[in-house]
Each structure stands twice: as structure tokens, then as C-alpha cells.
Amino acid sequence: MVNRVAVITGASRGIGRATALAFAQAGYDVVAAARSMEGAGDILSELRAANPTASAVNLDLASADSIKEAIGRVVKEKGRVDVLVNNGGITRDGLAVRMKHADWDAVLRTNLDGSFLCIQQVLSGMMRNRWGRIVNITSVVGQAGSPGQVNYAASKAGLIGMTKSLAQEVASRNITVNAVAPGYISTDMTKDLPEELKQAIMGKIPLARMGTPEDIAAAVKFLASDEASYITGQVLGVNGGMYM
């Protein structure tokens, strides 16, 4: 494998962190993108231990200007972006009847709009190079729904539709576009769930455990590899069997 450049958003913790590390260990030139440089800096030493070319960039998915500036800097410094992993996202949970418009807008703007804008920034280069991998991190919630998360579910379902449409647009340029849909994963986003809710969730998972960030990282790494060159427009569920 040539030293491919991989940009991973939301790379400072959880799934993004595990994915960035997995890519660095596999020889990718990883760019860890995070909303705060402090968060990105926390992982940088680990990444550089695996691959000294690794770097970090400040990228706010809620800001089109931030996205354009960050990815523009990556292209200038690295020459290209071969792999984009759209992992960054937020939640603003609440029942639909009482959901504030600001909470709806923030989640859609960050999770869906932000991912699309990142794609736009890397796509022309991938098309010119006639090679690329885009992996969007969606969610089991985007497939099955979840009460109290209409905004988050809508954003993640939107990523699935975007994945399938884009895959058809760019396949002729040897660019694949896929999605990974995690189930319930042990991250900062799930650690504070009430114990009774955790037990209820476990009862719906045939493998009877929560997933790990490394479970998701392995799936993302596969979809970015040459071995997955004939896979596009797919949603790979990594959920322990809770949604089939």
C-alpha cells in the first residue's frame, strides 16, 4: 500500500480515536481532525508512535469555513486526501414534542451537513486521482429509530441516503462510498446511560455485550482497504445482532 492520506473527523475520542490509531498502525498517513486542538493533540503522540507522519487539524463540523480551511490545509501539506472517515457528531436528545429548533438544527448541521461539506472538499481531488474511499459513520438508530432521538436518527438516516446516492455518482472514478452503522458502543456518549437502560439494551443484543470502538475501527479499516474495492453503497452494521 502506498502511504495513503486518511482524514478522520471526531478523532479525539471514542470511535474516532480507535479508528485513527488503527489506520496509523496500518501505515496510513493519518490526519486526526477534531473540534479542539487540545483534543486532537491528546492523540497525536500515540499516532506518531505508530506512524511519524501523522498530524492533527482543528475542524468544526458546524462551520463550513472551518471545514474548508482545515481540509484545504491538509491538501496543501499532504498533497491529497485518499480516505475520508466522517465520524464526528453530536447528540441533543429530547422528545419531539418539546424539542427546541436549535437542538434539531445543531444535530443536523453537525452530523449531516458537516459530513457532506467534508465530502465536497475531498471529492474533486479523489476524482482527479481516480481513487478514493469515503466511509460515513451512521448508527443503528438511523436504521431502527430511537425514542427521544428524532434529530440524531434523522441525521444518521440522512447519512445512509447520502452514502447510497454518492456511491452511484462517483463509482466510475474508482471511489467507493460506504457506511458503518454501530450499535451500542462503550464510549463517552453511552457511559452515562442509566443502568436500567443499559440492561434493557443488552437484552436486545444477541451477542450480549456492548461493542468497543475497536470493533468499529476494524470495519472502517476494511472498507478503506484494497480488499474492499468491489464494495460500495453499503451499510455495514456492527451491532452485535441487535438490528438485522
Block residue for cell numbers 463517552: 188
Contact 171, 128 (CB under 8 A): no
Copy the grid coordinates of residue 35.
Answer: 473540534
Average pLDDT taken over every residue of the chain = 95
Tell me the CA distances in angstroms from 148 to 34, 92, 153, one per residue in order. Answer: 26, 9, 9
Is the per-residue pLDDT at 40 higher than 80? no
pLDDT at 231 over 70: yes
CA gap 128, 134 in Å, rounded: 15
Would you say residue 36 has pLDDT above 90?
Answer: no
Residue type, 26: A
Q: What is the pLDDT of residue 169?
A: 98
Q: pLDDT (tens digit, 9 = 90+) per residue, 91-105?
A: 999 999 999 999 999
Question: Once rounded to an integer, what is the mean pLDDT over residues 110-128?
Answer: 98
Question: What torsion do the CA atoms of 147, 190, 164, 148 make, to the nearest 10 degrees?
Answer: 10
**In sequence order, what are the beta bridge partners of 32?**
8, 56
Instruction: Centre a 10 Å sphere on the Cβ of residue 169 and count the other Cβ atoms it contains.
Output: 12
Report all structural domains of the chain as residue ranges with CATH numbers, in order of start. Answer: 5-238 (3.40.50.720)
Q: How many CB atoms lie within 10 A of CB 148?
A: 13
pLDDT tens digit string along 161-210? 999 999 999 999 999 999 999 999 998 767 777 888 888 888 999 999 99
- Other Cβ atoms less than 10 A from the Cβ of 208: the count is 10
pLDDT, residue 1, reads 59
- Cell 505508530 belongs to residue: 50
In this structure, are residues 87 and 138 in contact, taking their beta carbons and an 8 Å threshold? Answer: no
Q: Of 55-69, 80-94, 182-196, 223-237, where does mean pLDDT reach its minimum?
A: 182-196
pLDDT bin (cut points 50, 70, 90) of residue 155 is very high
Among 89, 90, 100, 71, which residue's Cα sits nearest to residue 5? Answer: 71
Q: Where residue 156 falls among pLDDT bands split at 50, 70, 90?
A: very high
Q: Which residues are annotated as catalytic?
A: 152
Do 180 and 216 form a contact (C-beta atoms < 8 A)?
Answer: yes
Greater confidence, 156 or 194?
Answer: 156
Q: Is 140 helix (H, G, I), strand (E, B) or coil?
A: helix
Using the structure block, give the residue that is written with the C-alpha cell 453530536: 90
DSSP at 173: G
179 exposed, middle or buried (CB, 10 Å; 0-12, 13-18, 19+)? Answer: buried
